[in-house]
Amino acid sequence: MFLTAPTANQISDRQISQDSIPLDLFAAIADLKKELNAVILAHYYQDPDLQDIADYIGDSLGLSQAAADCQADTIVFLGVHFMAETAKILNPNKLVLLPDLDAGCSLADSCPADRFAEFKAAHPDHLVISYINCSADIKALSDIICTSSNAVAIVNQIPKDQPIIFAPDRNLGRYVSEQTGRDLLLWDGACIVHEIFSERKLVELKISHPQADIIAHPECEANVLRHADYIGSTTGLLKYVQSSDRQEFIVVTESGVIHQMQKATPLKKFIPAPPTSNCACNECPYMRLNTLEKVYLAMKRRSPEIIMDESIRQAALKPMLKMLEMSK
Ligand code: 13P
Ligand code: SF4
């Protein structure tokens, strides 16, 4: 698996232990926020402590919209690299900080730009719709970006006779194809976290909790999704548990999202779906690289920041704006 290589821009664990970390990190981060005129954007898969310091928590679409509307000078992005990169694409003149530059994404890594460019060149009549979980280079090769919350709606807006490449997630692509009745040409990428859930254990869990609804993210495999009572983006899943009469839910996505579910509906019960082994593999290892200490240090040092080639940024901006326009 490919991980973004550490750069001079990166904070190492050794540096963290050498720096003096204040005892009250929450207060220190609040002070730095004022000093930097910063906004903190966080994804639901972050550690609960990090979600709790955010000004805005959301799914990928919500975070992109928040980044597009942002008035602050600095964006501290508590998520993974492609998300912070997306914020930079939309805000070239702002300082965009990502506390740990190694916070990559297995799905984004499963679609290298050189191979994707060849794939695209082999199908010149196809429109390229890319899931936001991809690098800026892939966005720059795309016609429209989508997220898990708007992918079906975006594909439904494309004329029926227009052939479409859908990249990089084969699971979301297959789900969108089923929902829209469209024959999509799929890139063969996947997320290691969403492919780790065990169908057998899920069925066993459902048998022991017959009143629970199974709610799942569309990045999961088809054999898991077929058991779901509701399929949606992280925000979709959160809204579902808030509006449902059910009291118990088996949650088939990264377990970080349960923090907001529990806060919104304290009397309901949430059971994380079991992975195939006894690991904590339903926690995204990339998302969980960010810590409060690294947030503090990144804000104090104004680094690591997202830096991007301007021609790539401009090419990646077009399909991003198209998505925001098509999602109104
Ligand atoms: P959403 O929050 O858009 O549902 O995406 C989930 C995900 O895997 C982010 O990496
Ligand atoms: Fe990427 Fe999967 Fe982690 Fe989301 S959960 S950031 S798709 S590796």
The whole-number pLDDT of residue 1 equals: 36
Choose the residue to mutate in 109, 170, 254 for probing ligand 2, maximizing ligand atoms within 8 Å of C-beta.
254
SS3 112: coil
Q: Tell me if 15 is assigned to some domain.
A: yes
**310-326 vs 60-68: helix axis angle to the nearest 10?**
110
Does 135 contact ligand 2 (Cβ within 6 A)? no
pLDDT value for 233: 98
Answer yes or no: do 132 and 181 share one domain: yes
Of all protein residues, the one whose alpha carbon is nearest to atom 10 of ligand 1 is: 133
Phi, psi of 239 (to 5 degrees): -65, -40
**Quick check: is 281 in a domain?**
no
Q: What per-residue confidence (pLDDT) applies to 11?
A: 60
Clarify whether residues 143 and 167 are in a common domain. Answer: yes
pLDDT of residue 12: 61
Query: Model's pTM, two decimal places?
Result: 0.93
70 and 209 in one domain? no
Nearest-CA residue for ligand 2 atom 1 is 105
Asked if residue 62 is part of any domain, the answer here is yes
Q: CB neighbours (10 Å) of residue 66?
A: 18
Give the model's pLDDT for residue 13. 60
Cis peptide before 304 (omega within 30 of 0): yes
Q: Which of 147, 191, 283 to mutate to test the pocket of ligand 2 (most atoms within 8 A of CB)?
A: 191
Q: Is 60 in the pocket of ligand 1 (CB under 6 A)?
A: yes
Q: Whole-angstrom Cα distance, residue 139 to residue 124?
A: 17
* Lookup: tokens for 199: 């169908």
Q: Low-confidence residues of the chain, pLDDT below 50?
A: 1-8
pLDDT the model gives residue 3: 39
In a domain, 2, yes or no: no
Tens digit of each residue's pLDDT (9 = 90 or more) over 185-208 = 999 999 999 999 999 999 999 999
Q: What is the pLDDT of residue 16?
A: 62
Clarify whether residues 320 and 177 are in a common domain.
Answer: yes
pLDDT at 280: 72
Residues 268 and 302 in one domain: no
Closest CA to 111 of 90, 128, 97: 128
Query: Residue 166's beta-bridge partner residues?
Result: 129, 186
Nearest CA to ligand 1 atom 2: 59
Q: Does any domain span residue 253?
A: yes
Q: Which residue's C-alpha comes closest to atom 1 of ligand 1?
A: 59
Tokens linked to 244 = 């449902």
Q: What's the CA-to-centroid distance between 218 and ligand 1, angstroms?
A: 9
CA 215 to chain centre: 17
For helices 81-90 and 310-326, give the axis angle rounded to 10 degrees: 90
Secondary structure of residue 42 in the 3-state scheme: strand
For residues 135-148, one letter each, b for 16 or more C-beta atoms within 10 angstroms of the residue's C-beta and e for the rest, the string is bbbbbbbbbbbbbb
Asked if 178 and 321 sit in the same domain, the reply is yes
Instruction: Kindly list the distances between the CA atom of residue 69 and the CA atoms of 66, 80, 175, 310, 325, in Å, as whole numbers in the listed order.
Output: 5, 20, 30, 21, 13
Task: Return the best residue to mutate from 46, 107, 148, 238 for the ligand 1 pocket (most ligand atoms within 8 A of CB).
Answer: 148
pLDDT tens digits for range 81-90: 999 999 999 9
Q: State in Å: Cα 148 to ligand 1 middle.
A: 7
pLDDT of residue 8: 45
| Closest C-alpha among 79, 52, 49 to residue 67 | 79
For residues 185 and 134, membership in a common domain is answered with yes
Considering the domain architecture, whether residues 185 and 322 belong to the same structural domain is answered as yes
On whether residue 1 sits in a domain, the answer given is no
| Domain of residue 209, CATH code | 3.40.50.10800
Please indicate, yes or no, whether residues 46 and 128 belong to a single structural domain of this protein.
no
280 within a domain of the structure (yes/no): no
Range of the domain at 145: 107-191+316-326
CB of 195 closer than 6 angstroms to any ligand 1 atom = no
- Asked whether the beta carbons of 70 and 84 are under 8 A apart, the reply is no
- Nearest 10 degrees: Cα torsion 76, 81, 85, 87: -40
Q: Is the CB of 234 under 6 A from ligand 1?
A: yes
- 227 C-beta neighbours (distance < 10 Å), count: 17
C-alpha–C-alpha distance, residues 295 and 98, integer Å: 8
Check whether residue 185 and residue 321 sit in a common domain.
Answer: yes
Pocket lining: 105 vs ligand 2, CB cutoff 6 Å: yes
CA–CA separation, 324 vs 326, rounded Å? 6
Structural domain contains residue 277: no
Shared domain check, 253 and 212: yes
Same domain, 30 and 53: yes
* Maximum distance among all Cα pairs of the chain, rounded to whole angstroms: 61
Q: Is the dihedral of CA 269, 273, 279, 282 positive or negative?
A: negative
What letters, b where the CB count within 10 A reaches 16 and e where it falls short, cover 256-267?
A: bbbbbbeeebee
Report the domain count for the chain: 3
